[in-house]
Amino acid sequence: MSLQVGDTVEDFTLPDETGTERRLTELLADGPVVLFFYPAALTAGCTAEACHFRDLASEFEAAGARPVGISGDTVEKQQEFAGRHTLGMPLLSDTDGTIRERFGVKRGFTLAPTKRVTFVIGQDRTVLEIVRSELRMNTHADRALDALRAAKG
């Protein structure tokens, strides 16, 4: 089962790239969260996608939202990814795939078990927008910003 726009996301806790446990409700305390699932840290496509989120940091800030990356990579790999590209956003480590499964973004084959899908989550944990695109990396951050601006109205 995959989440749809209008659904409520169940709270969850995962370690970020520093090993610090992060709860979704805490991440939402200051505003909406743009949770972007990506297949694998340090790969070309995921790097392009994450760097685009990074490059738009001030626009997300203006929209009152925060991007948060999530993949099945280990904490150490996320740390390397964040450091190498100065991403400046939490990168959550979903190594056992529990959250990936809950969001319905699990892929059948194991090389890249996570689909590239972005969820814009409002402060009440409601899904405001879902961006699905495996090949157009920039579309994730761009469409998330459009949804956030529309929601602010």
Residue spans of the domains in the chain: they are 7-152
Look-up: residue for tokens 């480590």? 93
Catalytic residue from among 3, 27, 41, 46: 46
Cβ within 8 Å of residue 109, ≥6 positions away: none
- pTM reported for the whole predicted model: 0.93
- Catalytic-residue membership of 46: yes
Q: Is the pLDDT of residue 144 over 80?
A: yes
Q: Given this model, what pLDDT does residue 107 score?
A: 81
In tens, the pLDDT along 93-114 reads: 999 999 999 999 988 766 677 8
For the record, the structure tokens of 31 come out as: 């505003």
Please say if the pLDDT value at position 68 is more than 80: yes
Domain made up of 7-152: CATH architecture: 3-Layer(aba) Sandwich (3.40)
> Other CB atoms closer than 10 Å to residue 130's CB: what's the count?
20
